Each structure stands twice: as structure tokens, then as C-alpha cells.
Chains A and B, each alone.
Chain A
Amino acid sequence: MTEQRVVTPEELFPEVPESIFLFRSCTGSMEYPGTENAIKEVMNKLGVKIVMDPDQTCCSGYLLTCSVYKPELSLAVTARNLAIVEKQDLDTYVFCNGCYGYNRELAHIMKHNPAYMQMANDVIAKQGYKYEGKTEIHHVQELWCRLKDEIAAKVVHSLKGLKVGVHYGCHYLAQQYHILDDGGYPTFHEEIIEAIGGTPVFYKERQLCCGYSVGRGITHKEEMVQPHLYKKFMSAKDAGVQLMTTVCPGCNVGLDREQPNINKRYEDEFNIPVIDLSQLIALALGVPVKKLGFEANTISLNGILTKLGIERGE
């Protein structure tokens, strides 16, 4: 591997892009639609133009790793989606660690194995596309990091000592190059939380996986996922976490939807709302609450909003 593994936000973006291609996430637009909306609102405040394309489909990674899709399909779908982005001469920005990991990994495989590139291009050529491997794949959180100072300057509702525990999500930190941290002891989310006035909490199992990945939340829920998440929530509760942030709607599903079941099974009382980091930034920047779709959350945000003195605006 010749590429540098960890890069600074400034190395990643010497210039802040004027417009970006926002890659629609299935979970982020259906399960927690407020995530997608929050990103649009924050980008708007930061003056970054968003381009989306209705021709873009699912990244096809999740079901690949559930063993029901074959790599041939996912490679072709990735090539097709990225070819659509390339036609617009933009870089791809995803807001789901799944989309990030799979797009990056599959694009990497194609760029480094001419036979796979050929295979994917032969298939999508029948639909009139050509993938060249030009578009870079970024996560929107990288842009939040790059624009941390601008975000801090625009804060309307300071988070006034709100204790926030972050969840990085595995598939970002596990990438092999051009990421903001190598996963040893990442702090870039905590820096963002501080920039918007919150108090980051370093809880012990901060880097523990959400358990949702690869369908274990469906086939191994009771056997693996619940005992696994119990550890995570125990340490978060002990550290006094009041709110948890993710950068992946998939992690959000795992951490938010599973809490009532864990409470029932372990006779414990976890009540930690889980939202996307972009939603928290949007909240701090004064985006109206009704634009952030918190009604989709299982664990209610009402306590947090009351604590911060923010109007729910129903």
C-alpha cells in the first residue's frame, strides 16, 4: 500500500469543494430521513451546493456481505453509481459508513484488478455507462472536520455542557488509506462536539461495533448482538452519556432500535437517545427541530431538547 493511511482534513481537502455529490443512503433516507435532511440544511448554511441524482441506486454492499448478493452484482452496481457521479465531474460524499466502506472497498478492488474493472464496465456498458475510477469517495463527516471553525462560528444553540458519547462506526475507521484516523484512538468527533459547545465523554466501549452490520441484528440478535450491545450501553451509562451520536444510519438502527429490547432482557434502564452527528450539528446551528425528523427515533429526544431549551416546534 503506497497511499498514506491517515491524512489531516486539510490534506484531504486543500480547497473546500463548491458542490458535492451526495450519495443517497437507503437507511438514511427511509429509517431516519432526518439524517439526509440535516446534512442538506448544514451544507446549505456552510455554502456547499448539494447535487443528488435519482438514477443512483443502493450501494449493494449490505446484502453482499449477508451472502445473498455475489460480488459480480455489487461491483457492477458500484461501477454504475460511480459512473453517474463521474459524469457530473464531482466527488462522492456518503453519509453512511456502509456506503462508505463498500463503495471504497469495491472501487479499490476494481482500480487494482483490471479484470474486475473490465467485468463491471462490460456489464454497465450495456446500459450506456463507463466507470473510470476518477471520483473520490468521502464521508460528509470529513467535511464537518474540515469546516469545524466555520461551524463553531455559526452556532446558535450552544449545547451547554450536554454530555455526548460518540460512536465512530467500524467501516470508516477500518479503511486502509485517506481517512482521518487509523482507529487506534480517534478523537475527531470529540473535537467537533467541543466546537459546537457539547462535552464529549470518553466511555470505555466507545469503539465497540453497533452489532447491526451484516444482518446479525436479524439472525443472531439474541445470541450475539444483545449481549454485545449491553456492554456498550453499560459503559456509556457509567460514564454519564446523555446523548449518543453516530455517522451511519445503520449504526443508528442498531443502537437506537435495540435499546428497549436490551432493557427488557437485562432488566436495566438505558435511555440514551442516538442521533446522527449531522443532526446534532444542525441542531446547534439553529435548524428548526421539525426539519430533523427526530420522530423516527425509538428513544425520544424530548428530554434532551427540553434540557437545551430548544423549541420542539410541533
Chain B
Amino acid sequence: MPREKYSDNNDGLYKEVDTYNLVENLESCLACGKCVGNCPVASLSPSYNPRQIISDVLSGNSEKWLKSEEIWRCFWCAGCATVCPNDIQFPLLMMQLRYRAVEKNYGLKHIMPFKRFALRAREDGLTFAPSEKGREKIKRYRSNLGTSPWPEISDRAKAEYKELFNLTGATEHLEKLSDEAEKPVSFSYTEGRITND
């Protein structure tokens, strides 16, 4: 007899989060909790609980996590996926939870610092290239090694990288990001459980 699934009763509600179809086996979660045991963030912040998050996403209660501070603490180390007996790619769920949060104007303050890096990366074809002063240091170190002062990246690569931003709608996505729309997060917990929504 096939195992009962959440979607038998709630029409696949978790697809509201998994819009890219990247965690198709989420319903096979056994709630064994190995992910929590192997999570460095859960060890510091008990209210961050991957097993609880999966359970809530499956039953359509993802909203409280979208509003939470907790989802922004994940290191994305994939320790949860490493030990999952059913190979659930929890980090890919976390990525999409964060997209949903941003769409609803939660947690924008946690991604705004990266908008600057993204806009710069769009010009450089490299991520985390520093500003002018930092660049001088890199050039000096690289010259001391006897290599080219700047990583060998062609103008063609830079132009095409930038073009991909336009072709995939990334430019639009980036320009829209602003923390003015930020909604304050309501959050409280007792004994490691989020209590309100």
C-alpha cells in the first residue's frame, strides 16, 4: 500500500514554495531529524529547525517562516542534505523560501548588501572584486607572484556576462530590489519553537 502523502489531502501546497521543482521528493521526509542534528545553525539557534520548516512547508504553513529571521541564518552548508536518508535537498528549499520572502518584502535587509556586489559583478564578470583601493592590493600580490596583475578575464567574457543579466531578467530583478519596501518581521519563540505567526 503506498505511503500516505501530504498532497493527498492538501493538493501539493508546498509547490507554492518549490516553484522551480527542485525539491520534488520533499514529501518523502521521514521527520527523522538527522538534518537538525547535523545543522550548525540549529546548534546555536534552536528556533531554526529544518525538520520543522519542512513539516510547515508541506502543510502549507510556510508564511510564518517567510516572516521569520530564522531562514536568513542558514549557512547553506548542506549538512542537512549530507545526512538525509531520503536525499532531500533542503538547501534548494531554503533558497526558494528566501525568494518567496523577498517577493513579499520580508528580509530585504538581509539581501541588500549583496545588491551592491551583484551590480559590481555584472561589470567585472567576477564576484567580490573590491573597490579601487582593494584592487591595487590584488594587483600588487599578483605581480609579486609573477602572474598578470588582474585575473585574465576577456572583455568578451565581461560583455557576455552582462548581457546574460538582461537576457534572463536578472537586471530587472536587481533594480527592483530596495529595502524601502521592507516589512518588519514579527517573531517570538519559547523553548525553541516559533509561537506566533
Contact = CB atoms under 8 A, between A and B. Distances in A.
A295 interface: yes
A150 B187 CA distance: 57
Contacts of B157: 54-57
Contacts of B130: 30
A69 B79 contact: no
A43 interface: no
Contacts of B129: 26, 30
Contacts of A208: 40
A73 B76 contact: no
Nearest to B172: A70
A54 B154 contact: yes
A246 B101 CA distance: 33
Contacts of B20: 71
Interface stretch (B9-17, B144-152, B188-196): B144-152
A2 interface: no
A138 to B, nearest CB: 19
Contacts of B185: none
Interface stretch (A140-148, A188-196, A223-231): A223-231
B197 interface: no
A29 B147 CA distance: 10
A293 B145 contact: yes
A308 interface: no
A55 B44 contact: no
Contact of B113 (A183, A215, A228, A295): A215
Interface in B90-133: 91, 95, 98-99, 102, 109-111, 113-115, 117-118, 121, 125-130
A260 B86 CA distance: 40
Contacts of B45: 224
B84 to A, nearest CB: 10
Nearest to A60: B127
Contact of B126 (A26, A52, A174, A291): A26
A77 B157 CA distance: 11
A218 B81 CA distance: 24
A219 B76 CA distance: 14
Interface string B44-86: 1100000000000000000000000000111111110111000
A166 to B, nearest CB: 16
Given A33-B147, A214-B74, A224-B44, A219 B113 contact: yes
B82 A173 contact: yes
A209 B77 contact: yes
Contact of A68 (B40, B76, B114): B114
Given A76-B167, A296-B141, A228 B40 contact: yes
B170 interface: yes
B7 interface: no
User: Of A77, A124, A174, which is in contact with the most chain B CB atoms at under 10 Å from its CB?
Assistant: A174
B75 A26 contact: no
B168 interface: yes
Contacts of A218: 113-114
5 contacts: A31-B128, A54-B154, A66-B117, A73-B165, A293-B144
Given A219-B72, A220-B73, 6 more contacts: A33-B141, A54-B154, A57-B160, A60-B121, A183-B82, A216-B75
6 shortest A-B CB distances, which residue pairs? A174-B78, A209-B77, A54-B154, A170-B77, A73-B170, A214-B76
